Structure 1
Amino acid sequence: MGKKKRVLIGICIFLVLVVGYATYYLNSYYRATDEMDKFIKSDDQVAVKEIEEGYFFDGPGDDKAMIFYPGGKVETKAYARLMNKLAKEGIDTFLLDMPFHLAVLDKNVADKIISKYQYDTYYMSGHSLGVGGV
């Protein structure tokens, strides 16, 4: 076997390993407990709607909203309890769903929310790597 062929085979093996690891990395993340499912559903105080950008928690307030970027490699619904509680306290919340659970891959999504919804005040928040999206 020639030197060029061995180098080419080595490069191919390296690329397969890199793609395999990247696939594993992007698909392994913290998954929320089943307990969070009850907070992602509407109740008598908060209407929860799935929107293109994630979830909208519509509580009794109508002038303030918070846009929340989840932490890196954390399932979106892991924050449902917090978003539901804030909505009950009068701050409607937008819980963003990020590609591969990484806010850095869609950091300007808040602009879409602000252009679609009309609130007097917006708060921006995030957790861990999600703060990089803010």
Structure 2
Amino acid sequence: MQKKRGRRILKRVLWSVAIVLVLAVGGVLAWSQIGVMAAEPEQLAAVRENPAITVTDADEGIVLAPADGASERGLVFIPGAKVDPWAYAAILQGLAEDGVTVVITRPWLNLAFFDPRGLDAFTAAVPDVDVWSVGGHSLGGVRACQLAADADALVLFASYCANDLSESGLPVLSLSGSEDGLSTPEKIADARDQLPADADMVEIDGASHASFGDYGPQDGDGTPTISREQMHAEVTRLTESFLAPLAP
């Protein structure tokens, strides 16, 4: 009797654990799909109509490339948490106009931390490109830091590393915003020691967290004082200047 009772108790415990796990997984799946910040339609339409670039919705990600096909440099860009990948097309199209092929990834469950794929899963979209940088916005930048060992350079938009790259010798560009209420200037400064000593640290005056994409205001963020046009131009100028010396 005691053995049977023990088996019944064990069975109930196992069923309870299984139910909790199913509910937890279901909760994460539901949460990852709720509240995803969509790309602003007008900005996205302008990208699709831009004659200077080609836009390809590939299996590996959204590919922005120079219309003439001449590109030796590439950037794999990882979106922030629960942000539509298309929301970065407008701010990154200037790089494609200047000859940099950009692959914007689609993180699993809209969260970069749940995406275990390596850099080559995305660079495979454009095999002819010789030099690849990796970058990302917010949580996407944190994930980019983890993939940086396989890249030629690292680009951070309103983000910072959780892993130590200080002795990597990797070229790094960190763009932040003075009005960022999420990846605040203080948080960027606190994580500075994770980057190489010669990393380019640039704070864009008037930029908020959401200024680095085109998906509208974000809870907890500051109020930007820089215009969308100025922000796009500044990000393009700074990033292109950083990537230019990497040409093979």
| TM-score tier (shorter) | 0.7 to 0.9
CA distance in 1, matches of 2:95, 2:85: 16
Higher relative contact order (CA 8 A, sep 6+): 1
Q: Spell out, residue by residue over 1:100-126, the C-alpha distance to the aligned partner (whole angstroms, 9 max, x if none).
A: 211122243421233451323211110
- The equivalent residue for 2:80 is 71
Give the counterpart of 1:93 among 95, 102, 107. 102
Aligned residue in 2 for 1:58? 65
When the two structures are superposed, what TM-score results if normalisation uses the length of structure 2?
0.45
Rg comparison, structure with higher value: 2
- Kindly indicate whether residue 131 of structure 2 is the aligned counterpart of residue 121 of structure 1: yes
Give unmatched runs, 5+ long, in structure 1: none
**Deviations, residues 37-73 of structure 1 (Å, cap 9, x unaligned):** 3145253210111110211111154111111011111
Q: How does 1:9-88 map to 2 (within 5 A)?
A: 18=24, 21-28=27-34, 29-41=36-48, 43-59=50-66, 60=68, 61-88=70-97
One-letter amino acid of the structure 2 residue matched with residue 132 of structure 1: V
- Aligned counterparts of 1:13 and 1:106: Cα–Cα separation in 2: 25
Counting aligned pairs with the same residue, the percent is 26
Asked if the contact 1:42/1:48 (under 8 Å) is kept, the reply is no
| CA RMSD of superposed structures (Å) | 2.8
Cα distance in 2 for partners of 1:131, 1:62 equals 24
Letter of the 1:103 counterpart: A
Compare the two structures and name the one with the higher helix fraction.
1
